[in-house]
Structure 1
Amino acid sequence: EFALCPTFFNSQDIQYPGVAYGNKVEHVPENINALYEESRNCMSLQAFTASVMASRKLLMNIAVDKGAKEGLKFIEYVDYLDKNHYAPPNSQDWVNYIRNKGNEANHEINIMLEKDAEELINFIELLLKFIFEFQGKIKTK
């Protein structure tokens, strides 16, 4: 019976599949956008640890897209974004927060919470807008 429904709510009023968290961002390279959408879609499945790990990986992918060499240590990608002014002013704390939460999800036996994943997606969305969307919009003028 549920096979014909695109979505449904269970007895606790939880929607399946849930809604992807965050917003679409324009002018993002296809491979980076695919990973961003993966992180957002993980939220709809309540896969918060997977979302955090995808958000962490996005920092590396963005850095490589902007000229960092592949095969660096993760902290070197973070430093690349900062030193080359791809991260907005005063965002170093957020970049480090993503790095630390990603490390926690990847290297420790911790389950990430919904709020952890939401915070990371919020910042990644801002970063993608800052680096790609705003530039793309002005270039089309």
Structure 2
Amino acid sequence: MVAHARGVYSPGFSVSLVIVPGSSPGSSLQGLPRSVDDAWGEARSSLGAGCYTASEIMCRKILMYVAVDKGEPAGKTFAHYLSALETQGYITPPMKTWVDKIRLHGNEANHELPTPDKKRAEMTLGFTEQLLRIVYEMEHLAKAYTKAMAAPPNVPGTPGTPRGLGGSTP
């Protein structure tokens, strides 16, 4: 019997395999720039596929993407990016300890032989998610809220007022 991409083959016998990707851990986040969103999706997909090293490396790399998105030039050192995020206030003193875990776990995943375990990779992804939520999603939601509050209110009985919210019913 031989396994290959199209299924399992044994002389006179064939079975097709269907490979269904696992769910991506973490949350879809709003307001992420394209490059950060792509990297976040890759980190989530990697963890969902059991690729813990890849997930942790992507979480570390996301810190670089965030720094560049927030105005730092590409091609700087990783230490420069972290320092810039801290100086600009994106990494606050209470966040520093757990943001440093993203850095340390990414470094270990990249430079050490032992593969990170699932629990550590999940924690690294969780820390990264919270950073992205604070830096991007909350600002996005605040802007959406402000915009919605600045819009003229729906007046019952006027066109555009959804049914059931005080508008007239036929």
TM range (shorter): 0.7 to 0.9
The aligned length equals 130
Which protein has greater RCO, CA pairs closer than 8 Å, 6+ apart? 1
Alignment correspondent of 1:91: 95
Unaligned runs of 5+ in 2: 1-15, 147-170
Larger fraction in helix: 1
Q: Quick one: distance in 2 between partners of 1:119 and 1:88?
A: 19
Alignment correspondent of 2:106: 102
What is the 5 A alignment of 1:31-110? 31-110=35-114
Q: Quick one: distance in 2 between partners of 1:25 and 1:89?
A: 24
Whichever of the two has the greater Rg, that structure is 2
Q: 2:135 is matched by which residue type in structure 1?
A: I
TM-score, normalised by the number of residues in structure 1: 0.86
Alignment correspondent of 2:13: none
Alignment correspondent of 1:111: 115
Q: Percent identity?
A: 34
Unaligned runs of 5+ in 1: 8-16
Q: Quick one: distance in 2 between partners of 1:88 and 1:135?
A: 16
- Quickly say closer, same or farther: Cα 1:106–1:62, change in 2 above 3 A: same
Alignment correspondent of 2:132: 128
Alpha-carbon shift at residue 110 of structure 1 (Å): 2.1
